[in-house]
A and B are shown apart, each in its own frame.
Chain A
């Protein structure tokens, strides 16, 4: 006997943006990702880079989905990982900013080239590369804005997409300085 049935309380799943501060050392990211795959949680978006060279810290911005019990589990499981120092639930904390960068290559000829440039201008995308047959655009902003732009580009020609994943930060004057000093 064992209870591997799903928890029957069916609660709505919501998307959550988590912000982690971790040691920038080999294995940390593997542990974070291993936690998600090993316990069957989703990662919708993941973005990692060093943010403090002196203290050797990285930020992981992570978008996941689940009901509130699952999200609580994810957060406490993340905090059990030794090199994970801070786990913040930005969605829960209050207003926050989510931003992402996309590089979009579009292979396009003829009249559609003008259309592509016009759309890029509307979206305030930058043109980073041009050939007679193609463009590379760079666009930053909310993921939904990036989605919309990419959809339009796809209808104009063959595309190749590279996205960074969401990077997130809370609004207002509060910072993590105090928390970081405890590490």
Chain B
């Protein structure tokens, strides 16, 4: 169907609608005024005005991760686009589908150092899955359609479309999306080899000490993949551990779930990884936070890796079997095959393996003692979980100790309910991300578990929260330190706390009040639970300033350059000297 001539800007908005966009997070400026004009009084797309372009991208990430849809962003040229870069990099690292539209100076001014000109496609090239500079108005519609396909297919990621102002103003003919777009063909090329599936199923059934390790790829593949993974775990009755990005894809209440693995993972998860004989990695990428020292990583195991991205397989860890494909497609074939073989009684007993794992569990690596009146941050998260687990609760976090405590002590029973910056570790992610989540789920309980330092990085978004009446709860574990930095300085740098104290903090209660929202403060354990109740029950947004034990460390921990079986469980364990090589690591 060919529509009458409309402006480029109108065509862009039409194309967004056609690609299912209902919400766009943005911030206006000179180079996107035609687009804003086209949005004016548009009924189909709701524009959410953020207060910083980085926050626009994080909000879109929260929206995307909690819905499975593509998040959409609109920023102006120059500073608008450069401000968005951290968000785009974050989305690239965590494989979040985003389409970011940026304004650009008119085509005839490109290259002249015009006002608010930046080489946006040049700057964003390494931090996007793909990007476009639209120089020909006739290609506009096609490029927008393609951007959505690229962002959402294969391994998802951010796509940026740079739109010169004259292109937005030109007359174009609207072109519909071709009904059955063969998605980016390389991404759809999955080779599910039946013999390989059979081999892997046999290997898993005959393993004496198997473990399944799931990651963000399972979540990205959709809720079906999470169900299939849980089913596989149940049939095999084998232990399962999840990465930071994978939390929720197997319910925390599943008896086979050992908790998160990796640097701050549980003792039992890491030791089970270290001692397994068969490891199945589903949609995770052997990140360095997970593997520990590579040459000591699960040394006596056969490794199987399922990933949609071929380049993830054999990137850091060489595996015995790699399957390229979308998790849910591969898992469904695998579950079927395991069921078939299982009926023929091909399963090995795992009693010994489980009793070994139960022994490790007895270490109680997440144990802590709540004594005295000071609130232990672990207790704060535990109580928060207990108080909210019966609601449809979405958690976002910032980056630091509080993030790890949230991952350790909050239980996630469903996928898409946990939004955190894993790959890039972006402080300031959580608050804007909660904006996107709450917009997508207006009736749900959305909580940003925050640190006082991280909160300050994007706190301007309080204004957005107030404008759109988003009842986001901001749960600040306030330890007056950049706690994670302080912890590393304590453990690795002789307790020389260089620049890690968060001085001159605002009064968070008054800060909340200045935005017309409620602020709560608690510093005594006996009032913790009532404060959490209040936070939940008060209508509208709340900042809860939870004053926690200031010098608490996050354990267990695999120290710099160590292996899974060299975890430390408390500060007393840390008497090993750190090597220079270890110190160099991040």
Could you say which of A23-31, A100-108, A167-175 contacts chain B?
A23-31
A85 to B187: give the CA distance in the assembly, Å.
Answer: 11
Asked if A14 CB lies within 8 Å of chain B CBs, one says no
Report yes or no: B126 in contact with A1, Cβ–Cβ below 8 A: no
A residues near B557, Cβ cutoff 8 Å: 1
B residues near A8, Cβ cutoff 8 Å: 294-295
List A residues 1-33 near B (Cβ within 8 Å).
Answer: 1-5, 7-8, 26-27, 30-31
Report yes or no: B561 in contact with A79, Cβ–Cβ below 8 A: no
A5 to B583: give the CA distance in the assembly, Å.
Answer: 12
Report yes or no: A34 in contact with B126, Cβ–Cβ below 8 A: yes
Residue among B131, B314, B318, B561 making CB contact with A3, cutoff 8 Å: B561
Report yes or no: A182 in contact with B292, Cβ–Cβ below 8 A: no
A residues near B131, Cβ cutoff 8 Å: 27
A77 to B562: give the CA distance in the assembly, Å.
Answer: 29
Report yes or no: A26 in contact with B295, Cβ–Cβ below 8 A: no
Asked if A53 CB lies within 8 Å of chain B CBs, one says no
A77 to B310: give the CA distance in the assembly, Å.
Answer: 8
B residues near A77, Cβ cutoff 8 Å: 311
Asked if B559 CB lies within 8 Å of chain A CBs, one says yes
Residue of A whose beta carbon sits closest to that of B582? A1
Report yes or no: A3 in contact with B293, Cβ–Cβ below 8 A: yes
* Min C-beta distance of A89 to chain B, whole Å: 14
Asked if A82 CB lies within 8 Å of chain B CBs, one says yes
Report yes or no: B125 in contact with A34, Cβ–Cβ below 8 A: yes
Report yes or no: A1 in contact with B560, Cβ–Cβ below 8 A: yes
With contact pairs A1-B289, A3-B561, A38-B126 given, residues A73 and B311 touching in the complex (Cβ less than 8 Å): yes
Residue among B122, B318, B585 making CB contact with A1, cutoff 8 Å: B585
List B residues 561-577 near A (Cβ within 8 Å).
Answer: 561-562
Per-residue 0/1 for B186-229: is the Cβ within 8 Å of any A Cβ (1 yes, 0 no)? Answer: 10000000000000000000000000000000000000000000
Asked if B184 CB lies within 8 Å of chain A CBs, one says yes
Report yes or no: A3 in contact with B125, Cβ–Cβ below 8 A: no
If A1-B263, A38-B126, A79-B186 are given as contacts, then 6 extra A-B residue pairs at C-beta distance below 8 Å, sorted by A number, are A1-B560, A69-B314, A69-B318, A76-B309, A76-B310, A182-B185
Residue of B whose beta carbon sits closest to that of A81? B130
Size bracket, chain A contacts: 20 to 34
Residue of A whose beta carbon sits closest to that of B297? A3
A residues near B315, Cβ cutoff 8 Å: 73
* Min C-beta distance of B413 to chain A, whole Å: 29
Listed A/B pairs (6) with beta-carbon separation below 8 Å: A3-B585, A4-B586, A27-B121, A34-B126, A81-B130, A82-B184
B residues near A178, Cβ cutoff 8 Å: none
Asked if A72 CB lies within 8 Å of chain B CBs, one says yes
With contact pairs A1-B560, A3-B561 given, residues A27 and B125 touching in the complex (Cβ less than 8 Å): yes
A26 to B121: give the CA distance in the assembly, Å.
Answer: 10
A73 to B285: give the CA distance in the assembly, Å.
Answer: 13
* Min C-beta distance of A77 to chain B, whole Å: 5
A residues near B558, Cβ cutoff 8 Å: 1
Residue of B whose beta carbon sits closest to that of A9? B318
Per-residue 0/1 for A71-92: is the Cβ within 8 Å of any B Cβ (1 yes, 0 no)? Answer: 0110011011111010000000
B residues near A82, Cβ cutoff 8 Å: 129-130, 150, 184
Residue of A whose beta carbon sits closest to that of B560? A1
Report yes or no: A2 in contact with B586, Cβ–Cβ below 8 A: yes
Asked if B548 CB lies within 8 Å of chain A CBs, one says no
Asked if B537 CB lies within 8 Å of chain A CBs, one says no
Report yes or no: B585 in contact with A31, Cβ–Cβ below 8 A: no
A1 to B316: give the CA distance in the assembly, Å.
Answer: 15
Asked if B581 CB lies within 8 Å of chain A CBs, one says yes
Asked if B89 CB lies within 8 Å of chain A CBs, one says no
Residue of A whose beta carbon sits closest to that of B586? A2
Report yes or no: B133 in contact with A1, Cβ–Cβ below 8 A: no
A residues near B318, Cβ cutoff 8 Å: 69
Per-residue 0/1 for A134-164: is the Cβ within 8 Å of any B Cβ (1 yes, 0 no)? Answer: 0000000000000000000000000000000
Residue of A whose beta carbon sits closest to that of B585? A2
Residue among B122, B184, B559, B581 making CB contact with A5, cutoff 8 Å: B581
B residues near A34, Cβ cutoff 8 Å: 125-126
Asked if B1 CB lies within 8 Å of chain A CBs, one says no
List B residues 120-161 near A (Cβ within 8 Å).
Answer: 121-122, 125-126, 129-131, 133, 150, 155
* Min C-beta distance of B284 to chain A, whole Å: 15
Report yes or no: A5 in contact with B129, Cβ–Cβ below 8 A: no
A68 to B584: give the CA distance in the assembly, Å.
Answer: 27
List A residues 30-55 near B (Cβ within 8 Å).
Answer: 30-31, 34, 38
A36 to B390: give the CA distance in the assembly, Å.
Answer: 49
